[in-house]
Amino acid sequence: MAEDLKTEAPVIIAPVIIKKYANRRLYNTQTSSYVTLDHLCEMVKQGTDFEVHDARTGDDITRSVLTQIIFEEEAKGQNLLPIRFLRQLIRFYGDPMQSFVPGYLDLSMQSFVKNQKEMRERIAKVFGGGNLAVEALAHENMAMFERTMQMFTPFSPPQNPPEQPDTPVASDHSDLSDLKTQMEEMRRQLAELSERK
């Protein structure tokens, strides 16, 4: 062959190791410095992968530290998790369907992140941007998420639908119709993903 074909193996970046000591201090082994939960929160937002290990036992405690970050953010007033969602999530602990929930939540979040950019562009086009449009989408997504979560507990009593915020009337009805069609398609895809698990 005139030209050698070279295939490069994908570069795998090892996660940063954070050690948590008995005094609750967190130590970043990559930068050789102590860090706080706020630092770890920023690392997550920047897409830096890390694992947190108990310094004494070596156990992986990443899940509990990430949960603690969420707790801290909620305590600061960054209310991302609705009360009904939290209650429903707590009900799944010890439930026979518990093993299906992590996979479902992971797939739902991956789907949401994948479509996030397109949804923002569509909302900006339909509503002219602004916080009301984003808030309306957030309410719609949570309503869809709660309906899907109820599929796991079909015998639970029906809940009142969430109140819809007042949203501006779109001047272009065809764009609004397209947005509704896309939302229905997302619902259908989420339902299919949950059935595959």
180 or 80, which is more confident:
80
Q: What is the pLDDT of residue 150?
A: 62
Using the predicted structure, report yes or no on whether residue 193 has a pLDDT greater than 70.
Answer: no
Highest mean pLDDT among 4-18, 89-103, 123-137, 142-156 belongs to 89-103
DSSP string, 81-123: S-HHHHHHHHHHTTSTTGGGHHHHHHHHHHHHHHHHHHHHHHH
Q: At what angle do helices 37-45 and 62-75 cross, to 10 degrees?
A: 100
Using the predicted structure, report yes or no on whether residue 114 has a pLDDT greater than 60.
Answer: yes
Q: At what angle do helices 131-152 and 101-127 cross, to 10 degrees?
A: 150
Report domain extents, the chain.
Answer: 16-75, 83-196
Q: What is the pLDDT of residue 171?
A: 46
Using the predicted structure, report yes or no on whether residue 143 has a pLDDT greater than 50.
Answer: yes
Using the predicted structure, report yes or no on whether residue 162 has a pLDDT greater than 80.
Answer: no
pLDDT tens sequence across 11-61: 678 899 999 999 989 999 999 999 999 999 999 999 999 999 999 999 999
What pTM did the predictor assign? Answer: 0.57
pLDDT class of 170 with cuts at 50, 70, 90? very low
Using the predicted structure, report yes or no on whether residue 190 has a pLDDT greater than 70.
Answer: no
At 106, phi and psi to the nearest 5? -65, -45
Q: What is the pLDDT of residue 26?
A: 96
